[in-house]
Amino acid sequence: MKDRSNAAEDADRLDDYSYTTIQLGVWRMLLPVERTSTQWSPLSWFDLSRLEKWDGLSSTLLIWRFAREVYSIDPWLNLMFFALNLATAVEGTLMLYASSRLLRTVETGLVTGRPDIRAICHAVILRVFCTVLTSTTRWARAWVTPILRAQVISHFDDYIFQETLRLDISTSKDKNNKIEVHATSLWNDFQFLSTFFQWGFQLAGQIIFTVQQPSGGITLTLLALVSPIFSTRLHQASWKRPFLYYASNLDYIRLRALKSIGSEKYREEITSVNIGSWILDEYRRARHALGTIPDYSPHFQMATSTNPISGILQQLSGDLPTFYWAGSVILEPEAP
């Protein structure tokens, strides 16, 4: 009981003015409280904005330098890799265009009772061509990616190994001079960078395609963008601030300690003093005291601890284009 009272006192002491605490199952999370300044001056705002802009500029220059380094390894292979990524980005738009044209041609034939066989054949041929093109693009990308990956990893592996050998004994023992960069992680960063541009190009292509449609246009495009924007802001709101979490439930801590004692590492000590049954009894007692308190990652608990209103709004925002089409049919039933 004394340990529990001390834990409660520590929890109350943690509720400081600079950060707040949230209990998520067996975990206690610390979140900093955003400072609200009562006095505002244009000079302070300018300094803060300038620092943020400088950080963004520095990051952009670093990314550009990294991209140039990878490009210099094999320019032609990099160009082929990015061209295939762009082709993969537009394949969704091409398939959407081919499918919509085919469905529109069939719909016109059903409404008029006179199907245009030539137009239907052209739409089918276009759909088959897009399928062949996208499949070929994926095959070529799967062939190029391993080759470029091997070259990038080999290049940075040589560079990291060279810099490691240049360190003398006294310098290598300093933790601040320890090289913790891995060539595989650099390739993953490059792949993420290329995927980021691919997503941007894909989004731009789909927006242009939707805007040019006769029904909907810019209004339908804006409504379709509400859901991803709302979802992005919703997921960023929980983890926008830095956080720290630790296990604060004493039963959970005791349970983990007993499992550690019962591991293979202490097998000889447990056998020599014959405390296996005691460990098992204490383990069951701690498990019973813990009950159904969740012990999984606080990242997932944070997502499920909020009320269902955000989920309802996110789902409804995704249905806005459907509501728009339904309203258009009601208001203009004879519109094409």
| DSSP string computed for 175-208 | GGG-----HHHHHHHHHHHHHHHHHHHHHHHHHH
Nearest to 314 by CA among 243, 240, 201, 237: 237
**Quick one: average pLDDT of 59-79?**
86
pTM over 0.85: no
* Contact (Cβ atoms closer than 8 angstroms) between residue 323 and residue 226: no
CB 93 within 8 A of CB 203: no
Comparing 307 with 281, the larger pLDDT belongs to 281
Average pLDDT over residues 128-151: 87
- pLDDT per residue over 240-287, tens digit each? 667 788 888 888 988 888 888 877 777 777 777 778 788 888 888 888
Q: Which amino acid is at 270?
A: I
| Spatial separation of the C-alpha atoms in residues 223 and 166, rounded to whole Å | 57
What is the token pair recorded at 35?
A: 């400072």
Q: What is the pLDDT of residue 76?
A: 92
Average per-residue pLDDT in the chain? 75
Nearest one of 128, 121, 133 to 98, comparing CA atoms: 128
Cα–Cα distance measured from residue 317 to residue 72, given in angstroms and rounded to the nearest whole number: 44
**Residue at token pair 């409504």:** 223
Better pLDDT: 212 or 48: 212
Q: What single DSSP character describes residue 263?
A: S
* Amino acid symbol at 57: L
Which of 10-19, 122-131, 133-142 has the least mean pLDDT? 10-19
